[in-house]
Amino acid sequence: MELEVYLKERKAYIDGILKDFLPDEPRFGKKLYEAVKYSLTVGGKRLRPILCLAACEVVGGGIEKAIPVAVALEMIHTYSLIHDDLPAMDNDTLRRGHPTTWKKFGEATAILAGDALLNRAFEVIADSSLESELKVKVISEIGRASGMLGMVLGQQCDIEAEGRNDVSLEELEFIHRHKTGALITASVVSGGIVGGGSEKELKALRGYGQLIGYAFQIIDDVLDVAGEQEKIGKNVGSDVEKGKVTFVTFYGVKGARKKAEESVNKAIEMLEIFPVSKRELLEKIARFIVEREY
């Protein structure tokens, strides 16, 4: 199947089930529920859940088991975007082609909506019918990747780097390995865990996740300079405006694209331990990451 069709179908499937994992609407405090529902359903590529399901399949697992984990990953990702857009952080007004959560619901509700999604994500995994041992492994993997030695740390470093022109390539790579790469890697690894992957398979998936995560961020930087606002669904040029050093600062647009391609090629090599017919999908997703226009 064409990757584009596959991605569309998987996205539609995930879009269709996300709301099922929210609790019932409360009698009071409905604005929080509205903000969570809005943020979660307003759009997005659903890349992290798609990766989780595909990784589960590559190790021979059925996707049903991975669904709560895939949903939890999208919840965490969405929370991070809501908080990232806040005036105290990136102060963005457009996300996924729509007003950011704080712009629509106010700052306090946006902070709480992010908090609610983060907590709900772990609740969804804990309440799933996965074997207890797998739940613990997955919760640990995702908690580490999104927490104070993962995405949150990356975000802190990113904020500290803003407006500085002495950011080294090493520091930039550290920021993005944590801010963007960690959750992408955890998406792939947790799919592999749920699917019953061996240590060797999980190691390969981790390597793949890290390399595509790196490429993903490079392309994100490229799109901020060379993308089209309607396609990417957020304001173009915001990195330069905020005085951010990016991969484009170091390599230029062409050089950055080349770096991303190299990283994706290495990611694809990591998959060589899997049968050709099974690894094809993860290979195509990796290529999509460098070729994407949104």
Q: Which of 10, 44, 70, 71 binds ligand GRG (CB under 6 A)?
A: 44
CA distance 246 to 270: 26
Interacting span for ligand GRG (CB under 6 A) from 150-158, 161-169, 243-251, 261-269: 150-158
73 binds ligand GRG (CB under 6 A): no
Site size with ligand GRG, rule: CB under 6 A: 16
Say how many C-beta atoms besides its own lie within 10 A of residue 67's C-beta.
22
Q: Which of 40, 72, 84, 145 binds ligand GRG (CB under 6 A)?
A: 84
Site for ligand GRG in 218-257 (CB under 6 A): 220
Q: Which of 50, 76, 80, 213 binds ligand GRG (CB under 6 A)?
A: 80
45 binds ligand GRG (CB under 6 A): yes
* Listed residue (18, 11, 53) closest to 194, CA to CA: 53
103 binds ligand GRG (CB under 6 A): no
CA distance 193 to 275: 18
Nearer to ligand GRG, 44 or 191 (CB): 44
Q: Which of 22, 47, 204, 205 binds ligand GRG (CB under 6 A)?
A: 47
101 binds ligand GRG (CB under 6 A): no
CB 65 within 8 A of CB 138: no
3-state secondary structure of 98: strand
Interacting span for ligand GRG (CB under 6 A) from 75-83, 127-135, 192-200, 277-285: 75-83
Question: Binding string to ligand GRG for residues 157 to 196, with x set by CB under 6 A, is what?
Answer: ----------------------xx----------------
DSSP structural state of residue 234: S
128 burial type by CB count under 10 A (0-12 exposed, 13-18 middle, 19+ buried): buried
Shortest approach of ligand GRG to residue 216 CB, angstroms?
7
263 binds ligand GRG (CB under 6 A): no
Q: Please, where are the H alpha helices in 127-275?
A: 132-146, 151-161, 169-176, 182-194, 199-226, 229-232, 238-241, 247-270
Enumerate residues 6+ apart whose C-beta is below 8 A from 213: 176, 177, 180, 181, 182, 184, 185
Angle between helices 30-41 and 3-18 (to 10 degrees): 170
- What single letter denotes the amino acid at residue 285? I
Interacting span for ligand GRG (CB under 6 A) from 58-66, 129-137, 151-159, 277-285: 151-159
Binding site for ligand GRG (CB under 6 A): 44-45, 47, 77, 80-81, 83-84, 96, 151-152, 155, 179-180, 217, 220
